[in-house]
A and B are shown apart, each in its own frame.
Chain A
Amino acid sequence: TQTVSQSDAHVTVFEGDSVELRCNYSYGGSIYLSWYIQHHGRGLQFLLKYYSGNPVVQGVNGFEAEFSKSDSSFHLRKASVHWSDSAVYFCAAKNNYAQGLTFGLGTRVSVFP
């Protein structure tokens, strides 16, 4: 079974702090990884993706993620969070055999002033 694990259900940070959200996957072969953000009651907004090349990818609003094949990870980071970054973040993965993306359970980020 192909799975995507997000170990932290909820992360609390203060505005200006850095944050790292963890994502691990259990796929074999070539893998496509992405992060999405869901603000309260809204749909999913695409943040960034990795398929090949530079393992560190840049996304919107200062987010970046780093792919690690040895750790089977694709952690998301931001150096300085803003209150508007409060949302639920979903890691998603797909390999060549899967129809669609498989999502993790999400990590809720609460940013306090």
Chain B
Amino acid sequence: GALVYQYPRRTICKSGTSMRMECQAVGFQATSVAWYRQSPQKTFELIALSTVNSAIKYEQNFTQEKFPISHPNLSFSSMTVLNAYLEDRGLYLCGAKGLGAETLYFGSGTRLTVL
């Protein structure tokens, strides 16, 4: 079956520092990877959609300068939160899907706490 592993599960960083999270697809080819954030008491916001061999498309309010994403192959993607501040805390989820598919399979998330 389609599985998505995401790590780390939890991370704590000091305000102004950066942290990187990784996402690995197993059992299918992750042609597209979507990164979401769930802030406290909120729903999931799409940060960006990355498709192999295409430009990464960021949603409004999210930029490459703040959330650089790497998607080098069909099984791996990473995202970094640069200069994290309190408003960046939350649960970050990667969701991956195969070519032509619409169903996103999500990892377990990376919970970011900013001190």
Contacts and interface: CB of A to CB of B under 8 A. Distances in A.
Interface in B64-115: 91, 93, 95, 102-109, 111
Interface in B10-42: 34, 36, 42
A101 B104 contact: yes
A36 B49 contact: no
Interface residues on chain A, size class: 20 to 34
Contacts of B44: 44, 90, 101, 103
B57 A46 contact: no
Contacts of A90: 43-44
Contact of A99 (B57, B103, B109, B111): B57
A34 B93 CA distance: 17
A2 B24 CA distance: 30
Interface residues on chain B, size class: 20 to 34
A46 B103 contact: yes
A101 B108 CA distance: 17
A43 interface: yes
B52 interface: no
A107 B105 CA distance: 20
A49 B103 contact: yes
B43 A43 contact: no
Contacts of B91: 43
Contacts of B57: 99
Contact of A43 (B34, B42, B107): B107
Interface of A: 32, 34, 36, 41-46, 49, 51, 90, 94, 99-106
3 closest residue pairs by CB, A with B = A43-B108, A44-B106, A43-B109
Given A46-B105, A103-B44, A105-B42, 4 more contacts: A43-B91, A44-B106, A90-B44, A101-B34
